[in-house]
Amino acid sequence: MKAREEGKPAPTAEGASLPPTAATAKVEKEGQRPTQPVYQIQNRGMAAAAANAGAVVGQAKLMPPQKMKHSIKLVDEYMNWCDSAIEFLLDQTDVLVVGIIGLQGTGKSTMMSLLSANSPDDDQRSYVFRMQSQEVRERAGNQTSGIDFFISQERIIFLDTQPILSPAILDHLINNDRKLPPEYNLPHTYVEMQSLQIAAFLFTVCHVVVVVQDWFTDFNLYRFLQTAEMLKPSTPSPSHESSGSSGGDEGIEYYPHIVFLQNKAKREDFCPRTLKQMNLVVDKLMLHSRLRYKGTISMLDCNIFPGLPYDFLESEVNLFLIPTMESDTDETISRAGSGGNPAFPVLPAYKGHPSFHTMISKLRSQIMSMSRPQLSHTILTEKNWFHYAARIWDGVKKSSALSEYSRLLG
């Protein structure tokens, strides 16, 4: 028999495997790769994910968070909680929650898309929050139902809501013979209570709540905000983690920052005198509110009024103006069609205010730089916030204060 050459491995049968000691000796003898320490990051599901991806056992990779491309449901049209958003959340505490409310057709979904992930130059069909289609707009319907959820790459949670006190939802309830919950007798009572539940929920789980209006101003909207503030659930105390229903929990109550966004503002709205009057009106209407409606958003800090001193507004509130969303080409065509003959046709048309792109950019930077106070008595991670919000929503639906108010409405 011929002797086996030194260093040449013996042939093995197909499907056979070396014993563990032999395999270890073989790796050390070949010396292809020195032994190095392996650092692992402990995380639930990491081993299963690595095995599915075909990664080497014991080597864990830092994967970027899953990027959302469109919004998903947090609360559906039947006011039921949805659990699909938990898949996009992480175990980190640096998170900002921004919610939005407003009447029907004021541009809530458009504003939230531009604040979160889209640019005014993008195709509106690619917005993360779905806008009103032409068909829905023609029949005076509402696009958003319930509460939509989206989290950006900057770890900012955006909550878009259905319109408050919506006539389209009321019309749908009446004409489609949709059955009401047993605790409601009239459809208009159910619509109002839905709106109050959503507003009270946002006042409890959001750092910033944006109130959108497209004309100045509806006094019923401020009355609605005060009612939602009155019916807001109490902040659960650390010793009593209840369902978040209203009660006499001791401790400091949490109130969010509230921003009044004047959408589709006209040229005369940007006049300093008009801006001052608008601030005075909002300040008087919110005088007895505990919501943080001052000291967060400033039009003077945007450098769009270069000649005004910082003390021009005696009581500046969180009021921000956004002009109508239209391009320079459309405005030039409309001016030419109306018989206008500009003296300098090469220069852009005079608007009297900064462009829509500029104002959106300034608003976005101010909202992202807002303070992030603790929503509860304990520091919440993104996933903990989701469970906290689910508990608050369940408490809002079972709130005795809201039930009593609904009974008084008849």
Residue range 169-198, pLDDT digits in tens: 888 888 886 778 888 888 899 999 999 999
Q: Does the pLDDT value for residue 70 go beyond 70?
A: yes
Distance CA 142, CA 165 (A): 11
Whether the pLDDT of residue 292 is over 90: the answer is: yes
- Tell me, what DSSP letter sits at residue 395? H
- Rounded to 5 degrees, what angle do the CA atoms 363, 73, 380 make? 65
- Amino acid 276: pLDDT: 92
* Statement: residue 12 has pLDDT above 50: no
DSSP label at residue 57: T
* Residue 348 DSSP code: P
Mean pLDDT of the chain: 79
pTM beyond cutoff 0.85: no
Q: Are 258 and 213 in contact (CB under 8 A)?
A: no
Examine the pLDDT at 162 and tell me if it is beyond 60: yes
* pLDDT tens per residue across span 127-161: 899 887 787 777 777 788 899 999 998 899 999 99
Q: Which two tokens stand for residue 397?
A: 């639906």
State the Cα–Cα distance between residues 372 and 382, nearest whole angstrom: 13
Q: Output the DSSP codes for 206-264.
A: -SEEEEEESSS--HHHHHHHHHHHHTPPPPPBTTB-----S----SPPP--EEEEEEEE
Overall average pLDDT of the 285-314 stretch: 87
Is a pLDDT exceeding 80 seen at residue 10? no
Which of the pair, 254 or 311, is modelled with greater confidence?
254
**pLDDT value of position 125:** 84
Q: Identify the band that residue 55 occupies on the pLDDT scale cut at 50, 70 and 90.
A: very low
How would residue 43 be classed by pLDDT, with cut points 50, 70 and 90?
A: very low
Interior CA angle at 360 toward 357 and 362, to 5°?
Answer: 110
The pLDDT of residue 194 is 93
SS3 86: helix
Cα–Cα distance for residue pair 191/174, rounded to 1 Å: 11
How far is 17 from 380, CA to CA, in rounded Å?
50
Q: Which residues contact 174 (CB under 8 A, 6 or more apart)?
A: 187
Query: What pLDDT does residue 373 have?
Result: 84
pLDDT at residue 344 in the model: 62
Quick check: 113 pLDDT over 80?
A: yes
| Cα 73–Cα 77–Cα 81 angle in degrees, nearest 5 | 55
